[in-house]
């Protein structure tokens, strides 16, 4: 498998430079095609209205969404103007209702090898960025590379990778989806946050996965870390810092999205706090 179609979905003009410049770097390095989806979102939720006003509200919502879509597209084209001419890309501009983001994004992510998105949490951000990432993961079944504020950093392709491993189906899917990048890295730390009390390889945590990756030419080794914090994400991020890693790979949403949103979880905590790119899959 290789990443030959890279997709980024924009819902705000301010995200265009970070998302497109990072995705464009990857596209050139990997000889891939970049697809850009510019979304204008109609947030009108008419629960009830006085006679004759519902249509007015809906029309105003659509007009506002169309203006947003044009603004997002303009920001995308301005960023693309600064890119070199060897970049292969296309732009699609769509207006969608808030409740249709899942279908619109999921359909396009399904035919992408990799989705590249800015971090979905921050001051003044609405719910659309999170909805886009979840749609790509759950409905598109695509791996999503979530960018920190600084983007990809010095190394467009990662040299040192932390691979979070807990024997879950989500972690296995993420490993397989990340394999093209893992094979290019100088080192991959298969990181197990212990103690491991169940599973077929509990006597040798991560050993079978390490063997599989080595057969693919990955420079992998296993690190078993004590759980020194209530949050696994904090242990993983500390290890990534100690390694000077430039990518973290992990399975996404091992618990339900509702539980993650209300109670927190490794996925949400990682997306809120990671300072390096995080590749997730479900």
Q: pLDDT: is 198 or 32 the higher one?
A: 32
- Please report which confidence band the pLDDT of residue 60 belongs to, taking 50, 70 and 90 as the band edges: confident
Same fold across 5-147 and 160-281? yes
Phi then psi for residue 193, to 5 deg, are -95, 110
- The ranges assigned to domains in the chain are 5-147, 160-281
Full-model pTM: 0.89
Specify the pLDDT at position 262: 42
Structural domain 5-147, CATH architecture? 3-Layer(aba) Sandwich (3.40)
Distance of CA 184 to the CA centre of its chain: 19
Two structure tokens written together for 123: 């001051």
- CB count within 10 Å of CB 181 equals 23
In sequence order, what are the residues at sequence separation of 6 or more whose Cβ sits closer than 8 angstroms to the Cβ of residue 198? Answer: none
Task: Round to whole Å and give the CA distance between 32 and 39.
Answer: 22
The domain made up of 160-281 has a fold known as Rossmann fold (3.40.50)
Two structure tokens written together for 30: 């990997």
Query: What is the arithmetic mean of pLDDT over 201-212?
Result: 86
Two structure tokens written together for 225: 């870390």
């Amino acid at each position: 498998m290789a990443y030959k179609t890279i997709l980024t979905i924009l819902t705000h003009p301010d995200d265009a430079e970070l998302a497109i410049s990072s995705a464009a770097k990857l596209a050139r390095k990997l000889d891939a095609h970049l697809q850009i989806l510019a979304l204008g979102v109609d947030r009108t939720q008419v629960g009830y209205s006085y006679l004759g006003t519902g249509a007015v509200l809906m029309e105003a919502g659509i007009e506002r969404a169309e203006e947003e879509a044009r603004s997002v597209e303009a920001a995308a084209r301005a960023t693309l103007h600064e890119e070199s001419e060897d970049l292969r890309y296309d732009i699609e501009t769509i207006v969608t209702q808030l409740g249709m983001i899942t279908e619109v994004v999921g359909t396009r992510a399904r035919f992408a090898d990799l989705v590249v998105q800015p971090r979905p949490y921050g001051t003044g951000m609405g719910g659309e960025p999170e909805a886009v990432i979840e749609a790509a993961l759950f409905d598109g079944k695509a791996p999503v590379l979530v960018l920190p504020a600084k983007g990809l950093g010095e190394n467009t392709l990662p040299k040192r990778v932390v691979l979070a491993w807990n024997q879950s189906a989500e972690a296995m899917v993420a490993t397989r989806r990340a394999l093209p990048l893992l094979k290019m890295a100088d080192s991959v730390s298969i990181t197990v946050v212990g103690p491991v009390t169940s599973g077929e390889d509990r006597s040798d945590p991560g050993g079978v996965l390490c063997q599989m990756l080595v057969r693919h030419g990955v420079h992998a080794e296993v690190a078993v870390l004590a759980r020194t914090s209530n949050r696994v994400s904090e242990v993983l991020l500390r290890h990534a810092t100690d390694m000077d890693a430039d990518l973290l790979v992990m399975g996404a949403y091992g618990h339900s999205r509702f539980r993650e949103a209300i109670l927190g979880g490794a996925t949400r905590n990682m997306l809120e706090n990671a300072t390096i790119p995080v590749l997730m899959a479900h």
